[in-house]
Each structure stands twice: as structure tokens, then as C-alpha cells.
Amino acid sequence: MSTSDITHGALVGAAINTDEDFREYWEHNAPARLVAAKLIEYRSDHDLSQRELANLLGIKQPQVARWESGEQRPSDSNLAMIAGALGIEFVLSFAPASRAPRQITRSAREHATEYTEAGAVVRFAAA
């Protein structure tokens, strides 16, 4: 197998299994990647460029590019703006790691990305 045959998923999986720092980074940035996927999906479904989406949101195109890279989660106020303008629902839950969350639906829990921080499980879902 040549290096060109190795997939992104295989590389990430190997790093997650062998590098604790990378695993924590990857899990912590899962919400940003989820927002990125939703924005890209919305643009694709509506045949929009990044510039057209930015205009719809009232922001500059480079901001859309940063969000779509999956490296930066929009602030809570920007998530609210995206939800209002595009009709995308976001759910963010912080619950003690010692018990299941009580305030979000089972569906949101099942579809959420999650990571542990400071004794809590952080869950983030989008629909």
C-alpha cells in the first residue's frame, strides 16, 4: 500500500488511537466540524457559493471559509444568526459525566458529537 492509498479517515483514526493530545484536540473540535458540514450541506442544497452564503448571513466570505474549514466554531451569537437565517437547529448540552443529560431529547443525544471536559460531557448536535 502506498502513502497515496491511505485515506484521511485512516490517518485520523490512527492518530486518535495513538496520540492522546490529538484525540483530545479532535474531540474538542468536533462541534466546529459539525457546523462546517451543515454549512457546506446548506450551500450544496441551495447551490450557493461561499460569497452568496456570506451575503445571506450578512458577513464576509472569509468568515464562511473559516467556519467551513472546521477549525473554528462560530460564537454563540453567530450560531443564533445562522439558525435564524438558514433554519438550522443547534443544540449544546453540558452535563455531569456521571449521568445522562436530562434536558435534551434522545434524538439530539444520539446524533450529537461529544467530548469530556472538566468532569462534564459536552454534546453538540445540529439538524
Contact 104, 93 (CB under 8 A): yes
34-38, 85-89, 98-102: least confidently modelled range: 98-102
More confident residue, 17 or 82: 82
Q: Is pLDDT above 90 for 29?
A: no
Helix (H) or strand (E) run with residue 64 in it: helix 61-68
Cβ atoms of 124 and 114 closer than 8 Å: yes
| CATH 1.10.260.40 domain span(s) along the chain | 1-87
Q: Is 80 exceeded by the pLDDT of residue 64?
A: yes
Query: Model-level pTM?
Result: 0.79
First to last CA, the chain: 38
Distances (CA, A) of 103 to 39, 82, 108, 117: 26, 23, 10, 19
Question: What is the fold, at CATH topology level, of the domain defined by 1-87?
Answer: 434 Repressor (Amino-terminal Domain) (1.10.260)
* Whether 14 contacts 23, CB under 8 Å: no
